[in-house]
């Protein structure tokens, strides 16, 4: 998958705050994500994050 820092991901399940969208802060073996709703930051293993992903919402710098 082509996920880069700055992208916004929509996940299958909601965060306890009610938001489904997460901003990607760091990509590697783990993803560092920030909840768009409440600002909480979490680290997820790449495999778990890709499985929970519903769709990628491209960031402004990659939209053409």
Q: pLDDT of 16-53, one tens digit each?
A: 999 999 999 999 999 999 999 999 999 999 999 999 99
pTM assigned to the model: 0.85
Q: Inform me whether the pLDDT recorded for 58 exceeds 80.
A: no
* Residue 15 DSSP code: P
Q: Inform me whether the pLDDT recorded for 61 exceeds 70.
A: no
CA distances from 47 to 17, 29, 62 (A): 23, 9, 24
- Quick one: pLDDT band at residue 5, thresholds 50, 70, 90? very high
Which has more pLDDT, 61 or 63?
A: 61
pLDDT at 12: 96
């Amino acid at each position: 998958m082509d996920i880069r820092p700055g992208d916004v991901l929509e996940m299958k399940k909601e965060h306890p705050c009610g938001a489904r969208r997460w901003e990607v802060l760091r990509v590697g073996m783990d993803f560092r994500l920030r909840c768009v709703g409440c600002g909480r930051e979490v680290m997820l293993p790449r495999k778990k994050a890709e499985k929970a992903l519903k769709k990628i919402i491209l960031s402004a710098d990659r939209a053409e």
